[in-house]
Structure 1
Amino acid sequence: MTKPVLYFDNAASSWPKPPEVGEAMLRSIHEHAANPGRGSHRMAVQASRVIFETRKQAAKLFGIKNPNDIAFSSSTTEALNLAIKGLVKEGEHVICTGVEHNSVRRPLEFLKRTQKVQLTYLETDSSGMINIDQLKDCIRKETALVVVNHSSNLLGSILPLEDIGQLCREHGVPLLVDAAQSAGTVPIHVERFGIDLLAFPGHKGLLGPQGTGGLYIHPRIELEPYLHGGTGSQSEAIDQPTVRPDRYEAGTPNTPGLAGLNEGLKFVLKTGVENIHAKEWKQTQRIMEGLESIRGIRLLGPALGKDRTGIVSFVLAGMDASEIAFILDQHYGIAVRAGYHCTPLAHATAGTAQTGAVRTSLGYYTSDDEVDALVEAVAEIAESAIL
């Protein structure tokens, strides 16, 4: 598991992966690369078993009682589209935050244009936190859904899901959580937090491969399927199956990818989400302390000492964010991401809508030495900019 670059782009995709992830994917391709759920021969059965084991691991991680309430998808984006477009009907009202990713904002704006869905964007403070009382005041009788991202992919802020979930349950409004930046790195329990729909990626904190993700759907919620087609069950029916998860999983699944995700989930469960979060938080503080000491740097998101995920974004006065990222890559071998991170709402909140920002995001395999190397490189770039 060599690391030819210093990788600080884990908010986009985690890297490296546990060795078991790639091994499981190769084993899937070589030993049971059949179509799961479509045949009774041994290879098809084994493929089905691997996928169900992955479903069980995800259910265990998120406190889900029935693994079949998890519908696998190609990404968090697909899962969010299934949840939003499958639940919200014409003329209804949806509440979301002012720091949502485009994977939430664009489907909602599409429904606003095409189905006259009413939208309310909750104001957030500069660190990305919402006011629970404001959320309560925005709920109407026609409110069909509340959508929040658990952690901003720009600011690293972590919303109080238990408080939000309790409020939504008191008013009988379903809660959809975008866990793109928290699944596997921040504890999530759907029952305890009052989550009705949970969209998660396989390729970030869960340490699986790209092309994997999923959506938890509470048993009392029925969604209109996003995809229609073959499932291997109730094939005689002209409509999608009524059984879960088949109803929401049309087409051939990504069996090798889900086999890899299975191992990523096992790693997270074995290591412990609390332990992963504690390690990443400690290193995040190390990055923030170092960057805050550099002249001209402004950090985004929660202040030093506050809870957050492993994301630290910053701007450097007088220097373009993309230029900083380019120099880090070309001269220091450090991978970060610059720009707008598919979340213009969050940039408006942070006051960086015109400039964008440099985002550093660490992962479980990030070392303290790598953190120090990043800070030292940014310090040298900042000094050169001033000179």
Structure 2
Amino acid sequence: MNRASDKPVIYLDHAATSWPKPDSVLEAMQHCMLEEAANPGRGGHRMAIAAGRVLMRTRIELARLFGISNPSDIAFMPNTTVALNQAIKGLLRPGDHVVATMIEHNSVRRPLEYMRREQGVQVDYVQVDETGQIDLFLLNSLCRANTRLIVCNHSSNLLGNILPLAEIADIARSCGALLLVDAAQSAGVMDIDVAAAGIDMLAFPGHKGLLGPQGTGGLYIHPSIDLAPLVHGGTGSQSEEANQPSVRPDRYESGTPNTVGIAGLGAGVRYVRREGSSAIGLHEWELTQSLMGQLSTVEGLRLLGPKLGEPRTGIVSFTIEGIDSAEIAFRLDRDYGIAVRAGYHCTPLAHRSANTSASGAVRSSFGHTTTRADIEALARAVRDLAASV
């Protein structure tokens, strides 16, 4: 249990943003603000150079975490949504075809629908089962001669299921397409190696499993891919040119960066690398299994996503017959001091697949600081609420 203001809170909303952050993240941000917060790449004085080093150190940490050979192939973004928009809008052109899944976040769906409506891009969504599992044969059957991109999340933010990236990458290669992965729920809690998994572009948040502050994230772009920049403007380099620089990462990083936030992100990634993504993920998985076991006998309660014992990220979503999901979340907060999220979680296609479009769902999600006691408190509270129907 942690504290927010003067009230204790059991924070189980890590899929939205992780909290609390490691002390090292706060310390790195304070140090940067006090000592290094000049404008990186936009001056030759010692503070500007120090700020540039902050960005490079974090880029190197991320490259080591994700198996990226050249840190300059990582462009900092303010969040995963912007990273996905950069990848999708920077790559696709009229007449291209893209395949996505029915469990994509609106950060994928909306850019795709924009490109369909405004640019004539063709889009197909491959069906999944109620637990979020994909039929690889069906995915392969949707590919065409003009398929330019396959895009999928690594793990659904509603169901917590995990997609087989290497197999999906093989399908992409066989049809001459690129693979874009949304790692919003997996970065920092699962081992990701872009080369081994065949990932061409990886969009990731800084503020979730990587334990950095909000307003940070990034996009890995394979060196063979040239995306049209989403934003044009000041980069601090090639200022005499009218066109956007071609050099990376400047090509995708216009404007003054969030240096203080990136310093915090670097500290968060160092923490994750020290603890181990797989170890953090195992801790979260064990908590999901404990909660699912405790809730499995609650009358009227339905658990979403993979079954007990199957792989998943630290997410357990559920519905209770006869109680609106928003009411459940409100009462958990008001009466039990437990923070979860309710509603549609920006993923209506996943709700359609899970048959929860009418009700939405309550989502509990766990992090490296979540304890067994937190899980037991949630289970007791949910049993109480279900019994009150």
Fold in common (TM above 0.5):
yes
| Alpha carbons 2:147, 2:175 under 8 Å: kept | no
Which of 195, 202, 217 is equivalent to 1:213?
A: 217
TM-score by length of 2: 0.98
Q: Deviations over 1:342-378 (max 9, x none)?
A: 0000000110001100000010100000100000010
Task: Provide structure 1 residue ranges, at least 5 long, that are not aligned to the other structure.
Answer: none
Whole-Å separation in 2 of the counterparts to 1:67 and 1:381:
49
Whole-Å separation in 2 of the counterparts to 1:274 and 1:172:
31
Task: Provide structure 2 residue ranges, at least 5 long, that are not aligned to the other structure.
Answer: none
Q: Deviations over 1:137-194 (max 9, x none)?
A: 1111111100000000000000000111122123221000000000001111100000
Which of 100, 104, 123 is equivalent to 1:100?
A: 104
**What SS does the aligned partner of 1:159 have?**
coil
Tell me whether 1:316 sits opposite 2:320 in the alignment.
yes
Whole-Å separation in 1 of the counterparts to 2:328 and 2:278:
33
- 2:199 alignment partner in structure 1: 195
Whole-Å separation in 2 of the counterparts to 1:309 and 1:339:
19
- 2:77 alignment partner in structure 1: 73
Offset at 1:134?
Answer: 1.1
- 1:244 alignment partner in structure 2: 248
Offset at 1:33?
Answer: 1.2
Offset at 1:274?
Answer: 1.1
Runs in 1 of length 4+ with deviation above 2 angstroms? 1-4
- 2:119 alignment partner in structure 1: 115
Amino acid at match of 1:202: G
- 1:185 alignment partner in structure 2: 189
- 2:23 alignment partner in structure 1: 19
Amino acid at match of 2:116: K
CA, structure 1 residues 31+182, in 2 after alignment: closer, same or farther (shift >3 Å)? same
Whole-Å separation in 2 of the counterparts to 1:294 and 1:364:
27
**Counterpart mapping for 1:1-387 below 5 A:** 2-3=2-3, 4-385=8-389
Whole-Å separation in 1 of the counterparts to 2:280 and 2:25:
18
Number of aligned residue pairs: give it. 385
| Alpha carbons 1:183, 1:201 under 8 Å: kept | yes
Whole-Å separation in 2 of the counterparts to 1:364 and 1:170:
38
**What SS does the aligned partner of 2:364 have?**
strand
TM-score by length of 1: 0.98
Whole-Å separation in 2 of the counterparts to 1:43 and 1:114:
44
**What SS does the aligned partner of 1:279 have?**
helix
Root-mean-square deviation over aligned CA pairs: 0.8
Offset at 1:2?
Answer: 4.2
Whole-Å separation in 1 of the counterparts to 2:65 and 2:127:
31
| Alpha carbons 2:2, 2:11 under 8 Å: kept | no
Which is worse superposed, 92-101 or 132-141? 132-141
| Alpha carbons 2:160, 2:315 under 8 Å: kept | yes
Whole-Å separation in 2 of the counterparts to 1:139 and 1:209:
38
Percent identity of the aligned residues? 59
Amino acid at match of 2:109: R
Whole-Å separation in 1 of the counterparts to 2:170 and 2:137:
13
